[in-house]
Amino acid sequence: MTKLYLLAIALLFATLSFAQQDVKQKEIFYLVSFPNAVHHEAEIVITIPQAPSGAIRLRVSRSSAGRYATHEFGKNIYNVKAFNVDGSNLVIKQLEGDLYEIPEHGETVKVSYTLFANWTDGTYASVDPSHAHLNMPAAFMWVVGQDKHPLKFEFNDLDKYGWKVATQLKHVGDNVYSAPNMQYMMDSPTELSAYKVNSWEVDNNGKKEKINLAIHSDDDQVVIDNFAKQIQRMVLEEKAVFGELPAYDYGEYTFLDDVYPTNSGDGMEHRNSTCIVHPAAKVEGNELRLISTYSHEYFHSWNVKRIRPKSLEPFNFEHANMSSELWFAEGFTQYYGEMVLVRAGFHTVDEYTRTIGGLVNQILNTPGAAKYPATQMSRYSVYADAGVSIDPNNDANIFTSYYTYGGAIALALDLRLRSEFNLTLDDFMRTVWRNRGKVMKPYIIPDLQSDLAKVTKDSKFAADFFNKYIYGIDKNNYEALLAKAGLLLRKAQPGKAWAGISGAGQVRGRSGQARATSDEGIAIQSSTVLGTPVYKAGLDAGDIILKADGKEIKDMQAFNDIVSGKKIGDKIVVNYHNRTGEHETTITLEESPVLEVVTYEKAGKDLTKAQTDFRNNWLSTKVK
Ligand SMILES: [Zn+2]
């Protein structure tokens, strides 16, 4: 190969790269108007300035970052039309429910459509004269293959309704906002309303991060201002876990909050914002309930939005994104979201024992956690996380939420790091933050194991922990670990007979079942749980219990009264009805496995100095 030839190649590459730079990607422009807000409609016109030659496609998302099941957003998008710049019509074909194709067109193409939106939560959209609450995947079609193009939004009718714009999109003038690409746009929920604001700055490595609270609710400004003081405390407590705040894009983080009685309760994390909705009349009086959603979602601005599993990066908006890491991304976030509220003084240790009790029951007492590892339960999120279906599932026997499963693992790891290494889970989270989140290197599970090995300087411990409790179904010794902090794990209903029946109710008025018109009996409404006396007796959903212990059963109370009059090991003969006729079975009563956690003080046990110190180190404020 000659030098001249090499030079020619070098020149060729140089011209190519120049040529590429010359073709600047122009913004895809969304004009958003609300002529029919009273009937929950928005009108959207998309201008695509650089439509590639040949057929182009536009699609509606089927998933939403952070909400792991599929959602048919396409059902609420209609009147889809395409035009040339001169307004003349173009042919547009609907290829699938949510996929459209324009076979022939000029360089610039316009597409218009109507959005129906009437569900206020962290995933969907709602439009009415009080607001346009826009979670982007639910509201905006996108151009297939142009996900790297910048985007611009203009929001019309703001004056008409008295709305302002709250969003993590970049403000570029008047009512115009921009996003560098589709992924960022999808991550930027936008609330148009007469919301109230409180903003403050937090020192962060010599710089300032601005935090905004934008709340659409029926509260006075003073309520918002007082609530903001509580949020400030929470923010600083979480900052103390990682040692710093993330450097937010454009230097700002915004809590978008919508409080109204008909809202669905929800919170959804984003890189520089969170969308929180709460079903209540006002913020006032609900501050404590709200703050646990705030603390969970805010923790996500480190853990999941930046400490990001590779399985979710980049997010695929065409189908459910399956992840084996949600026990960490959601579970560890769940643990911290609750625990920092104790550190920040919002909850007492006594109150916190109920949360711990919930975590421990989930990991030790559910068939899902007994049979399947946390990784597998994470993958089930594609069905569990607001998944929509009309047929029942067998969640009671095959699923334990990765929130609580992972939260219980975080609890055990924190207590073990404290008792075996003189370290804390905060040390581990800081290491993961430095190695993964801060440098934006998406992780796989072995990366977390390697970080645990680094923190503990004990790769054997890390391997053992991951093999047993993450990939495996072994359980930590919670009783011994909690005792280090002077917390007692014990049976919640010791010595009491228990049948394990749940989800049962009267059949009266129910339709669609053989005995539904009967006034007799109690119908079991959902799957009985593996291992319970009622499951062992062969009873399941749809069975109608007519008699127990020879007595007619008209309601749940009558059944409970019979059980409470018995001892552990006693048998109850049950007569029941189902599609195959009338049957008889025997329930052998057991002791309930349900556990509770109480402080040693409450249990009348002595608390040692070591236990007091351990508990204080764990649960006292870390804000200096
Ligand atoms: Zn979460």
Residue 7 lies in a domain: no
268 φ/ψ angles, rounded to the nearest 5 degrees? -135, 125
pTM: 0.93
The residue from 134, 163, 193 where one domain ends is 193
Instruction: Say how many Å lie between the CA of residue 299 and the centre of ligand 1.
Output: 9
Average pLDDT, the chain: 93
What radius of gyration do the chain's Cα atoms show?
28
CATH code (residue 314): 1.10.390.10
pLDDT at 11 over 60: no
Quick one: average pLDDT of 413-421? Answer: 98
Instruction: Say how many Å lie between the CA of residue 259 and the centre of ligand 1.
Output: 19
Instruction: Say how many Å lie between the CA of residue 291 and the centre of ligand 1.
Output: 14
CATH code (residue 210): 3.30.2010.30
Residue 260 neighbours by CB under 8 Å, 6+ apart:
120, 216, 217, 218, 277, 279, 280, 281
Tell me how far apart the alpha carbons of residues 407 and 83 are, in angstroms, rounded to a whole number.
52
pLDDT digits (tens, 9 = 90+) for 85-100: 999 999 999 999 999 9
SS3 547: strand
Residue 143 lies in a domain: yes
pLDDT at 463 over 90: yes
State the pLDDT at residue 8: 42
Instruction: Say how many Å lie between the CA of residue 428 and the centre of ligand 1.
Output: 19
Among residues 408, 471, 406, 427, the alpha carbon closest in space to that of 445 is found at 471
If asked whether residues 201 and 222 sit together in one domain, one would say yes
Instruction: Say how many Å lie between the CA of residue 300 and the centre of ligand 1.
Output: 7
Instruction: Say how many Å lie between the CA of residue 89 and the centre of ligand 1.
Output: 44
pLDDT-wise least confident of 11-25, 186-200, 395-409? 11-25
Residue 368 lies in a domain: yes
Instruction: Say how many Å lie between the CA of residue 254 and the centre of ligand 1.
Output: 16
If asked whether residues 154 and 40 sit together in one domain, one would say yes
If asked whether residues 511 and 620 sit together in one domain, one would say no
pLDDT at 17 over 50: no
Instruction: Say how many Å lie between the CA of residue 417 and the centre of ligand 1.
Output: 24
Q: What is the DSSP string of 75-97?
A: GGEEEEEEEETTS-EE--EEEET
Q: What percent of the chain has pLDDT over 90?
A: 89
Instruction: Say how many Å lie between the CA of residue 309 and the centre of ligand 1.
Output: 14
Residue 297 lies in a domain: no
Among residues 438, 490, 447, the alpha carbon closest in space to that of 599 is found at 490
Instruction: Say how many Å lie between the CA of residue 280 and the centre of ligand 1.
Output: 21
The residue from 256, 274, 292 where one domain ends is 292
Instruction: Say how many Å lie between the CA of residue 238 and the centre of ligand 1.
Output: 15
Instruction: Say how many Å lie between the CA of residue 496 and the centre of ligand 1.
Output: 37
pLDDT at 517 over 90: no
Tell me how far apart the alpha carbons of residues 177 and 273 are, in angstroms, rounded to a whole number.
15
If asked whether residues 217 and 363 sit together in one domain, one would say no
State the pLDDT at residue 242: 98
Instruction: Say how many Å lie between the CA of residue 329 and the centre of ligand 1.
Output: 7
* Number of domains the chain is built from: 4
If asked whether residues 87 and 185 sit together in one domain, one would say yes
pLDDT digits (tens, 9 = 90+) for 207-234: 999 999 999 999 999 999 999 999 999 9
State the pLDDT at residue 593: 95
If asked whether residues 451 and 425 sit together in one domain, one would say yes
Residue 24 — pLDDT band, cuts 50, 70, 90? confident
Instruction: Say how many Å lie between the CA of residue 379 and the centre of ligand 1.
Output: 15
Residue 3 lies in a domain: no
Instruction: Say how many Å lie between the CA of residue 273 and the centre of ligand 1.
Output: 13
State the pLDDT at residue 521: 87
Residue 459 lies in a domain: yes
Residue 11 lies in a domain: no
Instruction: Say how many Å lie between the CA of residue 234 and the centre of ligand 1.
Output: 16
State the pLDDT at residue 334: 98
If asked whether residues 325 and 472 sit together in one domain, one would say yes
Instruction: Say how many Å lie between the CA of residue 493 and the centre of ligand 1.
Output: 32
Quick one: average pLDDT of 245-257? Answer: 97
Instruction: Say how many Å lie between the CA of residue 520 and the centre of ligand 1.
Output: 43
Instruction: Say how many Å lie between the CA of residue 304 and the centre of ligand 1.
Output: 8
Instruction: Say how many Å lie between the CA of residue 301 and the centre of ligand 1.
Output: 10
Residue 446 lies in a domain: yes
Tell me how far apart the alpha carbons of residues 70 and 251 are, in angstroms, rounded to a whole number.
32
Instruction: Say how many Å lie between the CA of residue 590 and the centre of ligand 1.
Output: 36
SS3 176: strand
If asked whether residues 416 and 288 sit together in one domain, one would say no
If asked whether residues 203 and 72 sit together in one domain, one would say no
Instruction: Say how many Å lie between the CA of residue 114 and the centre of ligand 1.
Output: 31
Instruction: Say how many Å lie between the CA of residue 338 and the centre of ligand 1.
Output: 12
Instruction: Say how many Å lie between the CA of residue 623 and the centre of ligand 1.
Output: 23
CA geometry: angle 618, 620, 624, nearest 5 deg: 115
pLDDT digits (tens, 9 = 90+) for 277-296: 999 999 999 999 999 999 99
Instruction: Say how many Å lie between the CA of residue 282 and the centre of ligand 1.
Output: 23
pLDDT at 4 over 80: no
Task: Name the packing angle between helices 425-432 and 402-421 (round to 10°).
Answer: 110
Instruction: Say how many Å lie between the CA of residue 293 and the centre of ligand 1.
Output: 9
Residue 415 — pLDDT band, cuts 50, 70, 90? very high
Quick one: average pLDDT of 244-269? Answer: 96
Instruction: Say how many Å lie between the CA of residue 330 and the centre of ligand 1.
Output: 5
pLDDT digits (tens, 9 = 90+) for 548-563: 999 999 888 999 999 9
Instruction: Say how many Å lie between the CA of residue 404 and the centre of ligand 1.
Output: 11
Instruction: Say how many Å lie between the CA of residue 418 and the centre of ligand 1.
Output: 25
Q: Which residues pair with 153 in a beta bridge?
A: 30, 177
The residue from 193, 219, 240 where one domain ends is 193
If asked whether residues 531 and 561 sit together in one domain, one would say yes
If asked whether residues 56 and 79 sit together in one domain, one would say yes
CATH code (residue 553): 2.30.42.10
Quick one: average pLDDT of 201-206? Answer: 97
Instruction: Say how many Å lie between the CA of residue 33 and the centre of ligand 1.
Output: 32
State the pLDDT at residue 25: 85
Instruction: Say how many Å lie between the CA of residue 578 and the centre of ligand 1.
Output: 41
Instruction: Say how many Å lie between the CA of residue 522 and the centre of ligand 1.
Output: 37
pLDDT digits (tens, 9 = 90+) for 298-317: 999 999 999 999 999 999 99
Residue-range definition of the domain harbouring residue 90:
25-193
Instruction: Say how many Å lie between the CA of residue 252 and the centre of ligand 1.
Output: 20
Instruction: Say how many Å lie between the CA of residue 370 and the centre of ligand 1.
Output: 23
Instruction: Say how many Å lie between the CA of residue 337 and the centre of ligand 1.
Output: 9
- The token duo for 380 is 């089930």
Task: Encode 15-77 in three state secondary structure.
Answer: HHHHHHHHCCCCCEEEEEEEEEHHHCEEEEEEEECCCCCCCEEEECCCCECCECCCCCHHHHE
CATH code (residue 170): 2.60.40.3650
If asked whether residues 233 and 244 sit together in one domain, one would say yes
CA geometry: angle 229, 235, 239, nearest 5 deg: 145
Instruction: Say how many Å lie between the CA of residue 169 and the centre of ligand 1.
Output: 21
Quick one: average pLDDT of 394-420? Answer: 97
Instruction: Say how many Å lie between the CA of residue 334 and the centre of ligand 1.
Output: 7
Q: What is the DSSP string of 375-418?
A: HHHHHTHHHHSS---SS---HHHH---HHHHHHHHHHHHHHHHH
Instruction: Say how many Å lie between the CA of residue 439 and the centre of ligand 1.
Output: 21
